Homo-oligomer: A and B are copies of this chain.
Amino acid sequence: MATVKLLTDEEVASVPAVKAVFDDIRATRKSDFVNNFWRALANQPALLERTWASIKQVMMEPGELDPLTKELVYIAVSTANSCSYCVHSHTAAARTKGLSDQQYAEFLAVIGMAAETNTLANSLQIPIDREFLIG
């Protein structure tokens, strides 16, 4: 169904740049599973390397936002962009990072409200209050 072939481990074995990324994905995640997103990007080695390097830095390096919060933000964007693949993969990731049913219910309520009020504000073309502006 993809617009490119999803590369298997065998096919990747002969492309060192791609093989190195797959090895790093497995080592970083401590899992043998490499999901389809990376198998599709494997057709574009430069894009694969840059994307994986960015994901590793943005999503996995310790910072001031905890990993679960990052996943929720990721799902929110993916939902608004109607990316089925991303919604599925990041909801699964959120669960492995401890998302509870109650947190998920609250999250859904927030994204639903946000979408509703976005639509109202965009349709009413509400001007931004001076109080919200910087400086």
Contacts and interface: CB of A to CB of B under 8 A. Distances in A.
Interface of A: 1-6, 33, 35-37, 40-41, 43-44, 46-47, 50-51, 54-55, 57-59, 63-65, 69-70, 72-89, 91-92, 100-129, 131-135
Contacts of A54: 50, 54, 113, 116
Copies in the complex: 6
Contacts of A43: 101, 105
Complex A-B, nearest 8 residue pairs according to Cβ-Cβ distance, in ascending order:
A80-B80, A44-B105, A77-B114, A82-B82, A83-B118, A115-B119, A76-B76, A116-B116
B2 A126 contact: yes
A132 B41 contact: no
Contact of A134 (B5, B50, B57, B128): B5
A134 B4 contact: yes
A125 B87 contact: yes
A86 B110 CA distance: 13
